[in-house]
Chain A
Amino acid sequence: MATMNLLNRVGAKLATPLLPNAYAELINPLWGEGVRAKVVAIEPEGPQAVSLTLKPNHRWQGARAGQHVRLGVDIKGVRHQRCYSLTSADSTLSQRITLTVQRHPHGLVSQYINHGLRVGDVVHVAPAQGEFVLPANDEPLLLITGGSGITPVMGFLRQLAEQGWQAPILHWHFAPNAEVSLFKTERQALAKAQGWQLHEAYPEQGDEGFSAAKLDELFPQWRNAHVYVCGPAGLANAVVALHEEEGRGPLVQEFFQPPAIAATGEGGEVTFTRANKTVQAPATTNLLEAAEAAGLTPEHGCRMGICYGCLTTLESGQVRDHAADEIIDTEGALVRICVCTAEGNAALAL
């Protein structure tokens, strides 16, 4: 260990201003900077989705079933990042992980992953995150999922089967129809082998929706169960409301769609999070001017978008970059505040 540290330190001095991994990357792209993973398999998952199997590099710290990762892929030269739930069971250091991506008609990244990504490609992965994880002890579980909300729960099911869960489980899954119901065959086989209850409902085929009465009928002990819900807002809200009234166990919800932000095109409310100030910024005032008007002194240079001396982290919301003529809404993006205006609400790390 001490030898490794010494080697790393000497390596860094030799490679300065880079790190040795910048050169290791020449031999194997997986040895480059950050957590990276190689796509080792891409398989169709029903008619509208694909499942990816990823082999992460040595920097991957593992993940618990139900957590999500931020996946970074380069599309037309630009890095795009999206969060996806892992569908694999608990994994440690160098174990493979899986995730499933459903195609959205206008989804740039989901379309790319379904059609453009190839086995052998290297993708960027951020460490796994999320509190949507199984309890430590075997206790009754109520799992309610809808559509692609099945993905984190698929990770649960694989983990539960591996562990041999010693408590009753009901999994109630909603999908438009049987054809697009993700992982149907595998879930049915697991439920049969493990003795879990699995209830599939297909509203397009006339099946009834979520209701308290149906839940009582399917799983009378649900009030004492640990409840997990992941699905469209309508379904999730109904489950949460019923649980608030009658549930006695904990409820964990996973969100898989970010809240929509209205783009007004007429400026907006800008929050400078470090200074803890919020101002109204019209579309004609750039963010640097808005910050200065609020008494801040952001670092900057040219005030015309060429020197990049004012790059600031966009923490949330969206801005319009007038020099590049584009809307930037990527959380964590670095923006030139001297040529950006608010486009709806935005928070900056100033």
Chain B
Amino acid sequence: MNTALKLAEPEITPQSPVFGYLNAEELEQFGAEIDAVRQRILSSLDEGDAAYIRRIIRWQRGLEVLGRGALFLGILPPFWLLGTASLSVAKILENMEIGHNVMHGQWDWMRDPSIHSSTWEWDNVCPKEEWKHSHNFMHHKWTNVVGMDRDVGYGILRMSEEQPWHPAYLFQPITNALLASFFQWGVALHDLETDRLRRGERKWSEVKDKWRRIRKKMGKQVLKDYVLFPLLAGPFFLPVLLGNATANLVRNLWSYAIIFCGHFPEGTHEFLPEDVENETQAHWYLRQMLGSANITGGPLFHIMSGNLSHQIEHHLFPDMPSNRYAEAAKEVQAICEKYGLPYNAKPFWAQFGSVMKKVLRLSLPNFSSRSKGPTPQQA
């Protein structure tokens, strides 16, 4: 795809199909076809796409104003419900369809400095710098590589048979529920790699600046949602406080659920560090595809999931505007059929149920030698 990148060729022979699916020649063809999808869609971006993101941003801000306004009358239950619901939706849109995607550089092509990956800060306790490192780089480059992609278990859960068991994982169902409820706080602390700090693999001095930045962002967010807006409501301090806390909780639970459905359902592949040595672009594409899972649903569901319901397409093309993933998905699915590759797409409850089963199962040690994924079809 890119001669300037000068990536070394991996040693792949026709006798050892990559992850059991494609030989070297097929892999390159597959990569070229995926590249063609990317080029075609990116070259067709125009004012319609720009209007889409600006419309979503207007809706998000409008809903936030409506939500916070209604909560000032939150002493009346219908207003509290309306306010909390609006604010929850606004926070979900802001973090998922807007913030996450803008910080990926999906909208940088518009060259609008106010909707740009270099300047966007989101409504979340995790500062943009920490997010871009732990997510855009660590997670997107090393997706599902156990020991390299820190999103595999977030340093606190055991989400792969390849992670050694420890008695502490017996409490995994509780840890998992806590992570879901306080997801934004977990995400904020994620880049500190506290597990590695505890084990002495990383020094406090290395993360001092990060911690200072995280604390500052946390302070601003807490001041806004839990002090200033409640104070502004005067006698209605409590309903506003509860409404804001509930909206943050709803956003946490929802984003947790969508994100966990992206890489942990049955059928998604995990990888080992040796799988990614001298990786080519085509090999990376194949790994992104195998390591991600989609959630099927209607247009509104896709928007509310930040289009992470198209997790496969998001991982193949992290900088493609999210409103185009549905279109890319049709082509990617056809390419997968052509090459006999699995394309993991199921409704929300099927994927989420499968993830919860995994959380429970892996809280116990490995009883049998389970395969890392489905039995590969021989290509």
Q: Is the CB of A284 within 8 A of B112?
A: no
Taking the closest CB of chain A, its distance from the CB of B81, in whole angstroms, is 23
* Per-residue contact bits, chain B 98-140, to A (CB 8 Å; 1 contact, 0 not): 0000011100111111101110011100000000110011001
**Residues of B with C-beta under 8 A to A16:** 220-221, 223-224
User: Are A13 and B228 in touch, CB under 8 angstroms?
Assistant: yes
Give the interface segment out of A76-84, A141-149, A252-260.
A76-84
Once the chains are docked, how many angstroms separate the CA of A48 from the CA of B242?
62
Report how far A340 CA is from B133 CA in the complex, Å: 21
- Residues in B with CB closer than 8 Å to A10 are 228
Q: Does B62 count as interface, using CB distance less than 8 angstroms?
A: yes
The answer to whether A301 and B136 touch across the interface, beta carbons within 8 angstroms, is yes
Given A311-B117, A325-B39, CB of A23 within 8 Å of CB of B122: no
With A and B bound together, what is the CA distance between A33 and B232 in angstroms?
25
Q: Which residues of A contact B46 (CB under 8 A)?
A: 76-77
Closest residue of B by beta carbon distance from A341: B4
In the complex, A202 has a CB within 8 A of chain B: no
**Residue-by-residue, is B19-53 near A (CB-CB < 8 Å gives 1, otherwise 0)?**
00000000000000000000100110111111100
A330–B111 CA distance with the chains assembled, in angstroms:
10
Interface check B229, CB cutoff 8 A? yes
A284, B109: Cα distance in complex, Å: 24
Task: Point out the residues of chain A lying under 8 angstroms from B122, CB to CB.
Answer: 17
- Is A118's beta carbon under 8 Å from chain B? no
B114 partner residues in chain A, CB cutoff 8 A: 32-34
- Chain A at the B interface: SS class: loop
Complex interface: chain B residues within 8 A of A119 (CB): none
Q: Flag if B112 contacts A339 (CB, 8 Å).
A: no
| A16, A301, A324, most chain B CB atoms within 10 A | A16
A285 at the interface (CB under 8 A from B): yes
- In the assembled complex, B56 has its CB within 8 A of some CB on chain A: no
Does B354 sit within 8 A of A, measured CB to CB? no
Chain A 10-32 near chain B by CB (<8 Å), digits 1 or 0 = 10011011100011001000001
Q: Does B377 contact A (CB under 8 A)?
A: no
Chain A hits for B358, CB < 8 A: none
Seen from chain B, the residues whose Cβ lies within 8 Å of a Cβ on chain A are 2-6, 39, 42-43, 45-51, 58, 61-62, 64-65, 103-105, 108-114, 116-118, 121-123, 132-133, 136-137, 140-141, 220-221, 223-224, 228-229, 232, 281, 284, 318-319
Q: Which B residues touch A56, using CB under 8 A?
A: none
| Cβ distance B61 to chain A, nearest Cβ, rounded Å | 6
Q: Please state if B132 and A307 are interface contacts (CB–CB under 8 Å).
A: yes
A75 to B46 CA separation, bound complex (whole angstroms): 8
Query: Could you list 6 further interchain pairs (A-B, Cβ under 8 angstroms) beyond the known A74-B50, A286-B5?
Result: A13-B228, A16-B221, A74-B112, A307-B318, A308-B132, A324-B109
Q: Nearest chain-A residue to B319 (Cβ)?
A: A306
Question: Is A251 an interface position by the 8 A CB rule?
Answer: no
Size of interface on A: residues with Cβ below 8 Å to B: 43
- Whether the Cβ atoms of B47 and A308 lie closer than 8 Å is no
Which A residues are closer than 8 A to B by beta carbons? 10, 13-14, 16-18, 22-23, 26, 32-34, 74-80, 283-286, 301-309, 311, 322-325, 330, 333-334, 339-341
Instruction: Please give the distance in Å from A77's CB to the nearest CB on chain B.
Output: 3
Tell me if B141 and A17 are in contact (CB < 8 A): no
Contact B3 A284 (CB under 8 A): yes
User: How far does the Cβ of B68 sit from chain A's closest Cβ, in whole Å?
Assistant: 9
Task: Say whether B104 contacts A308, CB under 8 Å.
Answer: yes
Which residue of the partner chain A has the closest CB to B111?
A: A79
CB-defined contacts of B45 to chain A, threshold 8 Å: 77
- CB–CB B109/A78 < 8 A: yes
**A76, A309, A340: which contacts B47 (Cβ < 8 A)?**
A76
Shortest 5 CB-CB contacts between residues of A and residues of B: A77-B50, A301-B137, A17-B121, A307-B136, A308-B105
Which residue of A33, A302, A311, A325 is within 8 Å of B137 (Cβ)? A302
Taking a contact as CB atoms under 8 Å apart, the answer to whether A309 and B137 are in contact is yes
Complex Cα–Cα for A322 and B35 (A): 12
B-side contacts of A334, CB under 8 Å: 108, 116, 118
List B contacts of A322 (CB < 8 A). Answer: 2-5
Kindly provide the distance from the CB of A310 to the nearest chain B CB, expressed in whole angstroms: 10
A304 B108 Cβ-Cβ under 8 A: no
Distance of A22 Cα from B136 Cα, bound (Å)? 26
A5–B279 alpha-carbon span in the complex (Å): 54
Cα separation A75 to B220 with both chains bound (whole Å): 37
Are A306 and B318 also in contact (CB < 8 A) when A76-B47, A301-B133, A323-B2 are?
yes
Please name all residues of chain B whose beta carbon is closer than 8 Å to the beta carbon of A79 when the two chains form the complex: 110-112
Q: A77-B46, A309-B132, A330-B111 are in contact. Are A304 and B5 (CB under 8 A)?
A: yes
Question: Do residues A333 and B4 form an inter-chain contact, with CB atoms below 8 A?
Answer: no
A74 in contact with B137 (CB, 8 Å) = no
CB distance from B336 to the nearest CB of A (A): 21
Asked if residues A302 and B65 are in contact (CB atoms below 8 Å), the reply is: no
Say how far B314's CB is from chain A's closest CB, in angstroms: 11
CA distance A14 to B141 in the complex (A): 36
What residues of B have a CB within 8 angstroms of the CB of A13 in the complex? 220, 223-224, 228
Give the distance in Å from the alpha carbon of A286 to the alpha carbon of B7 in the complex. 12
In the bound complex, residues from chain A placing their C-beta under 8 Å from that of B116 are: 334
Minimum CB–CB distance from A330 to chain B (whole Å) comes to: 7
Residues of chain A lying within 8 A (CB to CB) of residue B104? 308
Residue of A17, A285, A324 ringed by the most chain B CB atoms within 10 A: A17
> Which residues in B have their C-beta under 8 angstroms from that of A305?
2, 319
